[in-house]
Amino acid sequence: MVSERELAAARRLLAAAGSLAALTGAGVSAESGVPTFRGPGGLWRNFRPEELATPEAFARDPRTVWEWYLWRRGLIAATEPNAGHRALAAWEQQHERFTLITQNVDGLHDRAGSRRILKLHGDLWQERCSGCGYQRRNRALAYPALPPPCPDCGAPLRPSVVWFGEPLPRMVWAEAERAVAQADLLLVVGTAAQVYPAAGLVEQARCAIEVNPASTPFSSRVALALTGPAGEVLPALLTGGRDKITTCPPPIPTA
Ligand SMILES: NC(=O)c1ccc[n+]([C@@H]2O[C@H](COP(=O)([O-])OP(=O)(O)OC[C@H]3O[C@@H](n4cnc5c(N)ncnc54)[C@H](O)[C@@H]3O)[C@@H](O)[C@H]2O)c1
Ligand SMILES: [Zn+2]
């Protein structure tokens, strides 16, 4: 539970931040009903995501990998953005110097109204050819044949997401690093902070606030760890105006 004292301290830091960045992970979509990888419902037919979201798995068994992604698309298509996504979208509208960086591929930030989104791990609704570089957006939940063939060259299409062992999109990563370096404050929302290099952004932040109902490797290192769900904590935080500049305090010990 987040105490009033912690919320007030977080609001003061936010109000004082001239520029802000937010890094979100699967947890921001948990209250929409999208399973996280490491929480309950993260498994599919007894596969671990780490066994399916790899180039090796796709090379070996593209049909099973596609079936898993279509299952995830189906789950996500039936969900709605939650109050946490909406609070971040509203923050973008009100503040010019705000950058949203997400590890999520579900498209819920877009649907909540966020417009400038650095998608570190790609997008589940985007497909690209494993041969020729053809790309398309697609909301299909089923295909006559799997893997779907590229309409240009016939090679298998793949989801345009970053798999374990693959590099992040270079430009997106560079922009994310720049945004974090320039931000007075980084909000770290719903990420277990175990997947690198994305988790490295937290280490680069000048000052950070974490929003997560569970503790993570960073909870004791951030200025404030707000132990609660994003859908409750973010709307409570991301309201209010500007304040005078304060400096990032040392971590507040949790009770
Ligand atoms: N929705 C998606 O797009 C989706 C879903 C699963 C995994 N992934 C991707 O897989 C990788 C896994 O890393 P990860 O750290 O993002 O996810 P993760 O599954 O490893 O961790 C999820 C984190 O969210 C926290 N959490 C759970 N409910 C929450 C809530 N209501 N509010 C705030 N936090 C909550 C958990 O305590 C945990 O720390 C990332 O690339 C991730 O984006 C994406
Ligand atoms: Zn092609």
Whether residues 88 and 110 fall in one domain: yes
Dump pLDDT digits (tens) for 122-151: 999 999 999 998 999 999 999 999 999 999
- Nearest ligand atom owner, CA of 27: 1
Residue the block writes with tokens 């089923």: 142
Atom of ligand 1 nearest to the CA of 162: 41
Q: What is the pLDDT of residue 125?
A: 98
d(CA 204, CA 190): 18
Whether residues 224 and 249 fall in one domain: yes
Residue 159 has pLDDT above 90, yes or no: yes
What one-character DSSP code corresponds to residue 40?
T
| Annotation says 121 is catalytic | yes
**CATH code, domain carrying 199:** 3.40.50.1220
**CATH code, domain carrying 73:** 3.30.1600.10
Residue 209, helix vs strand vs coil: strand
Task: Identify the residue whose C-alpha is closest to ligand 1 atom 1.
Answer: 26
CA-CA-CA-CA torsion for 59, 172, 188, 107, nearest 10 degrees? -60
Atom of ligand 1 nearest to the CA of 42: 6
Dump pLDDT digits (tens) for 171-215: 999 999 999 999 999 999 999 988 889 999 999 999 999 999 999
11 Cα: distance to centroid of ligand 2 (angstroms): 49
Active-site position among 85, 95, 109, 121:
121
Whether residues 192 and 126 fall in one domain: no
pTM > 0.85: yes or no:
yes
Q: What mean pLDDT is predicted for residues 58-73?
A: 96
Q: List the alpha helices (DSSP H) in the chain.
A: 4-16, 49-52, 55-60, 62-77, 83-94, 108-112, 170-182, 200-204, 230-237
Domain total of the chain: 2
Residue 116 has pLDDT above 50, yes or no: yes
Domain range for residue 20?
1-34+81-121+169-255
Secondary structure of the chain: what % helix, strand, coil (to 5)? 35, 20, 45
